[in-house]
Structure 1
Amino acid sequence: MPPMLGMLSTQRWSEQGLALLQLLLVASFSKSEERVCSLMGEQEEPQLFKTGDIIFGGIFSFHSSWTNMKSTYVHRPLPLQCTSLNFRAFQFAQSMLFAIEEINNSTEILPGITLGYKMYDVSHFATCACLSDKIKYPSFLRTIPSDYYQSRALAQMVKHFGWTWVGAIRSNDDYGNNGMAIFKDTATQLGICLEYSLPFVRTDPPEQKQKIIETIKGSTSKVIIAFLNHMDMEVLIEEFAHHNLKGHQWVGTEGWISDSQIAIAKGNYILEGSIGLAIRKAHVTGLREFMLDVKPLNSSGNKLFTEFWETAFGCTYFSL
């Protein structure tokens, strides 16, 4: 190609490229002005709700399990069908309702302002120390100490009893992973050695459960630190009972150590002699009466109220 023709051709392509770039920029700016993001899928409805001038959000494990649904990859996946109403989480939600109603009924705290709420069914284990970062989570408010303190206290407890060679199992989420990381750092400073630290979640395949069983059977430590939530723990001890894996000293977190469902769960003999940490109880005037009077829930989310009634009394609820 002659030099002049090549120069003209290059210039023509540069002009076309510049025009295309300008067109893309105009289209990009026009699109960004319309909407930055959009909702994918259907919006999830809250389990409990109430309108107000200020809306508080709540997340609780209202259900312990769900129905497994196979995806065909042809149509959009259907929402999870949750089952097994969790009464413990239900009581936690009632505590939040009680606090909000106490404020709404007061003439001194927020006069002229009504608080509302939207409570959803995901996890409420908000003890993770990561949530104390106000830069990342400026609107998150704690009602319970972070696991920074619990993890260090567990290490001090292990040191107190002279256990220097221990194993650990943790929930494979922020609660378990971050909590165990803090425990490990503190334990190392106190001269405590960790033989193993295994992740676990109740939806793990059988192979992962078998790996945990084989690791514990082949270990020499007899003390197990269980940094687990109560739902993962319930599944795990049933698996341990199936293998008759007893004779270990369990050290537990507040996530399961005082849970009433764990105390009566299948295989609970595995946990005989367990020790751990729990949040100090306090008497809140009027809270018990509020929890026993479930009728107000009928106006806060009819679906959950009906499910509670049917689960508690083993009958079908009809509204007259």
Structure 2
Amino acid sequence: MPPQTQCYGIDFREVRFARAMEFTIQQINSRTDLLPGIKLGYRIHDSCSTVPIAIRVAFQLANGFDTDFNESSSCSKFAATTVPAIIGDSASTQSISIARVLGLFGIPQVSHSSTCSCLSDKNQYPAFFRTIPSDQHQAAALARIVKHFGWTWIGAIRSDSDYGNSAMAAFLKAAQAEGICVEYSEAYYRTQPRSKLEKVANVIRRSTARVVLAFMHTGDMRVLLEELARQPTPPLQWIGSEAWITDPDILQYNLCAAAIGFGVPRSVIPGLREFLLELTLKKALESPLLTELWESSFSCHLKGQTGVSEGVRECDGSEDIHTIQNPYLDTSQLRITNMVYKATYAIAHAIHGLICNGTQCDKTIQFSPWQVSFDSNGDPPAVYELINWQFKNSGALDFVTVGQYDSSRPRGQELKLSKNIIWVGGETEVLHNNPDDYKTGRLTY
């Protein structure tokens, strides 16, 4: 038997997504107008951003719950049943793997963050839906914005995955139609050999294009930026996809200052921050997910936990959740988190439509997962905010919304700018790449 894939580390932003689903379900269960008298339950699984674990989880959900996975779940008594719907995964590659399994059983899957346009193919993924726009829209929008600012000579990099390859293919097609020349198109995935990473970084350093579009997963982008930071790199005007352009963990890389890209519109979810702050030491012990969150946030270990590194102190209850400085508590710009909120409510409304008539619900009605459905293509309309990375007075980078893109507007009117954009080098005038400078790589403003 091959060794079992292990998970290492914790993504605080993903934990916030999971807890946002918990919060939303609690909110739904307290309502009298939506599923009155019905309580929704849930289970949270970690795909660990890997295909093998994602497939294993999909089979667990399709075949009935594996009670050994999370013994603390109050829903384990329903071990013989399948779930009526699933939220996730965040990444397209894992969602594709899950959808291929769940689609066979007709179990609807609603992703909050998987944007690969390939997932719109209902022949391959009949039970897949999402609350985030398809990259088919984003690719066209990015090509339109490159043309809008007069950039005709650019470089392009992508994650070597379903997400990156599909999105880049759509972008290159749209760019060609807009008269944009792409000097290079390189791909990288974080598990590939270091030699591949170095090759991609050197292509970027040695190219004449000073405008670089990156259709990359946040994990791949982080690895690439760390490599680029090892050696001096010419100033670059980065154009980012939504996967990383609003990720607070990437803000630490100043070489991306002045980056622009499209992000999901920011939102406010009343009560969510207070819910996240309700986490206590006692509650952290009830779930492996919250245990890991607590231990990672406070650099301590909870009593009775195995695999503790020598010298790590034991958590004693003096830890204060209010002092956490990581993306778990960052509710200042809720974007993807709101997509989780919408996905949870979409499923609740679908179930309500199946078993309820007005304010009366029949708990005895048996329904099959494939009866939970959404619209014909499963894709929402494409509305994005144009994000610009600008320095605050404190010297730290921050996300600033400088415009909006709405695919439903007439052609040529999709993009509306609302604030001044700060370009690479702190310039307030748009950077131009003059055709006479292609060979030298010089830039003009």
CA distance, structure 2, for counterparts of residue 240 and residue 212 of structure 1: 10
| Structure 1 residue 272: Cα displacement | 1.9
Report SS of the residue matched to 1:83. coil
The equivalent residue for 1:257 is 245
- Which of 269, 272, 277 aligns to 1:284? It is 269
Equivalent position to 1:132, from 104, 117, 120: 120
Question: Is 1:270 the equivalent of 2:255?
Answer: yes
**Deviation of the 1:198 alpha carbon:** 0.8
Per-residue CA deviations over 1:206-246 (Å, capped at 9, x if unaligned) read: 21112212322332211110101111111110000112223
The worse-fitting range, judged by mean Cα deviation, of 191-200 and 293-302 is 293-302
Match of 2:368 in 1: none
How far, CA to CA, are the matches of 1:275 and 1:199 in structure 2?
20
Answer 1 or 2: higher relative contact order, Cα 8 Å, separation at least 6.
2
1:179-194 equivalences under 5 Å are 179-194=167-182
Equivalent residue letter for 1:241: A
Q: Structure 1 residue 100: deviation in Å?
A: 2.1
Q: Cα RMSD between the aligned structures? A: 2.2
- Cα-to-partner distance string for 1:88-115 (whole Å, 9 max, x where unaligned): 1111112222222222222221234332
Corresponding residue for 1:151?
A: 139
Deviation at 1:185, TM superposition (A): 1.2
Return closer, same or farther for 1:304/1:94 CA change in 2, 3 Å cut-off. same
Q: 1:118 to 1:137 in 2, by over 3 A?
A: farther
Relative to 1, partners in 2 of residues 1:89 and 1:157: Cα closer, same or farther, differing over 3 Å?
A: same
- In 2, distance between residues paired with 1:102 and 1:296? 23
**Amino acid corresponding to residue 117 of structure 2 in structure 1:** A
- For 2:209, what is the secondary structure of its paired residue? coil
| C-alpha distance 98-296 of structure 1, shift in aligned 2 (>3 A) | farther
- 1:209 aligned onto 2:180: no
Q: 1:227 to 1:301 in 2, by over 3 A?
A: farther
SS of residue matched to 1:309: helix
- SS for the counterpart of 1:119 is coil
Q: Identify which of 117, 120, 124 aligns with 2:45.
A: 120
- Residue in structure 2 matched with residue 315 of structure 1 by the alignment: 300
Alignment of 1:58-207 (within 5 A): 76-122=1-47, 123=49, 124-125=90-91, 126-207=114-195
Structure 1: give runs of 5+ residues left out of the alignment.
Answer: 1-75
CA distance in 1, matches of 2:220, 2:242: 13
The 1:301–1:175 alpha-carbon spacing in structure 2 relative to 1, beyond 3 Å, is farther
Q: Flag the structure with larger Rg.
A: 1
* Greater displacement, 86-95 / 212-221: 212-221
Structure 2 gaps of 5+ residues are 50-89, 92-113, 305-316, 318-445
Aligned partner of 1:247 in structure 2 is 235
The aligned counterpart of 1:303 is: 288
Q: Is the 8 A contact 1:222 1:247 kept in 2?
A: yes
2:23–2:272 CA contact under 8 A, matched in 1? yes
Counterpart CA distance in 2 for 1:294 and 1:134 is 40
Task: Name the aligned partner's letter for residue 100 of structure 1.
Answer: I
Q: Per the alignment, in what secondary structure is the counterpart of residue 85 of structure 1?
A: coil
SS across alignment from 1:242 = coil
Q: Specify the code of the residue in structure 2 equivalent to 1:302.
A: S
SS of alignment partner, residue 137 of structure 2: helix
Change (3 A) 1:220 1:262: same
The aligned amino acid for 2:7 is: C
Hey, what's the Cα distance between the residues in 1 that align with 2:277 and 2:142? 34
Q: Secondary structure at the match of 2:208?
A: coil
Report the alpha carbon displacement of residue 143 of structure 1 after superposing the two structures with TM. 1.8
Q: Compared with structure 1, are the counterparts of its residues 141 and 112 closer, same or farther at alpha carbon in structure 2 (3 Å cutoff)?
A: farther
- Which of the residues 222, 226, 231 maps onto 1:238? 226
C-alpha distance in 2, partners of 1:295/1:128?
Answer: 37
Per-residue displacement from partner, 1:58-82 (whole Å, max 9, x unpaired)?
xxxxxxxxxxxxxxxxxx2322332
User: Following TM superposition, where does structure 1 have runs of at least 4 consecutive aligned residues deviating by more than 6 angstroms?
Assistant: none
Pair 1:187–1:314, CA change in 2 (3 A) = same
Instruction: Tell me, yes or no, if the aligned pair for 2:285 and 2:291 is still in contact at 8 Å.
Output: no
User: What is the TM-score with the length of structure 1 in the denominator?
Assistant: 0.70
- Deviation, 1:197, is 1.0
Give the Cα–Cα distance (whole angstroms) in 1 for the partners of residues 230 and 209 of structure 2: 21
Higher helix proportion (structure 1 or 2): 1
Query: Equivalents in 2 of 1:167, 1:213: separation in Å?
Result: 12
Deviation at 1:117, TM superposition (A): 2.6
CA contact (8 A) 1:165 1:221 kept: yes
Q: Shift of the alpha carbon at 1:161?
A: 1.1
**For 1:256, what is the secondary structure of its paired residue?**
helix
